[in-house]
Amino acid sequence: MSTAPSQLRKAVVNVVAFAVLGALVLGATWLYASQRVPPQPLEFNHYVHVQQLGLSCLYCHSNAPRGQSAGLPQVNRCIACHNQLEPKSPATRALQKYAENGETIPWVPVSIQPDFVYFSHAPHVQQGISCQVCHGEVGQQTVAQPIRQQNMGWCLSCHTNLPNLTPERLTKLQSCETCHK
């Protein structure tokens, strides 16, 4: 036989549990939402520029043979052509706005490694490795998407498998401090 206080107690426990569960669901949703990639400031279409217009990767990402980061094009590189084109799409209209105001475009980075990884484009590009090998067929994409699971195992799948290397170089490629300086 249940008395009134115990019924109240049961009710309280249930309400608390429900509230906590609700908080959990909300929290999880918030957490999930916060981990999603933010949208790009303007929808740059790689397919149009690479596949249709035939631009090479290095035309915009020109620092790849020279340094760690391949770099992003300065606004003037876009404007060089788009100055002469009617801004018909939302992306080109946004570009025009940035250029008129002399503002930098706040791109969201696509191919990112964690802070503890040291990656330099220069040695890879200078070895003749083409961009598609690591970044996939970006020319077929509209807005650039990252390669999934571009992790250490994936890097090592190449670093351990290269033909025609001296033992010293092969060791260096697989040694920790090369990439985790």
Which residues are at the interface with another protein (CB under 8 A)?
2-3, 5-6, 9-10, 13, 16-17, 20-21, 23-24, 27-28, 31, 34-35, 37-38, 63, 66-76, 98-99, 102-109, 112, 114
Contact 105, 42 (CB under 8 A): yes
What is the chain's length?
A: 181
Judged by CB, which is closer to another protein: 58, or 170? 58
Cα gap 181→172, rounded to integer Å: 12
With a CB cutoff of 8 Å and minimum separation 6, the contacts of 66 are: 122
Q: How far is the CB of 118 from another protein (least distance, A)?
A: 12
* Residue 77 identity: R
Judged by CB, which is closer to another protein: 33, or 176? 33
Contact 98, 75 (CB under 8 A): yes
Q: How far is the CB of 141 from another protein (least distance, A)?
A: 18
Q: How far is the CB of 106 from another protein (least distance, A)?
A: 4
Judged by CB, which is closer to another protein: 7, or 174? 7
Q: How far is the CB of 114 from another protein (least distance, A)?
A: 7
For 73, the 3-state DSSP assignment is coil
